[in-house]
Amino acid sequence: MKNNDYVFICKNCGNTGLRPFTGNKDMSPCAICHSKNMQKLDLSVKEYLHMKRNKSLQEYITRLFPEESKSWESNLNQAQIEHESFKKKIESESTQDNYIPTCPICGSTSLSKITNTHKVGKMFMFGVFGMGENGKMWKCDHCGSRF
């Protein structure tokens, strides 16, 4: 919480939050529905946090915006559902990105990693002639190719 933070409400979904006030032209979008239709509330940060803790913020917003608050509940619920499904999709994609290397010659996944210690030892023993594996990272346990 910084001194230049203000309380904002999204006029599309009713989401509230704190953010630095940079003027209306540079207003960042709502974190839930991505609308740029944000309005600064006449609440101090301290009052906002107190109301949020005591669960009286919703009451205050309903009194302040009686017409809009009726549609906000459904808009906010829909936006939160979309947000959660997007987060789940991102999480599932990140778990699917586990790359399993395969041998380009035989297609086997039975591989051994060529360690840096192995590379240095080979260079130490054979000099320049031992540098053949320096650009290689894997050795296939099936066909013996190095790549």
Per-residue confidence in pLDDT tens, the chain, 147 aa: 455 678 888 888 788 888 776 665 556 788 777 888 888 888 888 888 888 888 788 788 888 888 777 777 677 677 778 878 888 887 776 655 567 888 888 888 889 888 888 888 888 888 877 777 778 888 888 888 888
Contacts (Cβ under 8 Å, ≥6 apart) of 49:
1
Per-residue HEC secondary structure of 41-92 comes to CCCCHHHHHHHHHCCCHHHHHHHHCHHHHHHHHHHHHHHHHHHHHHHHHHHH
- Domain residue limits, the chain: 5-96, 99-147
Burial of 103 (0-12, 13-18, 19+ CB in 10 A): buried
Q: What whole-number distance in Å separates Cα of residue 13 and Cα of residue 37? A: 10
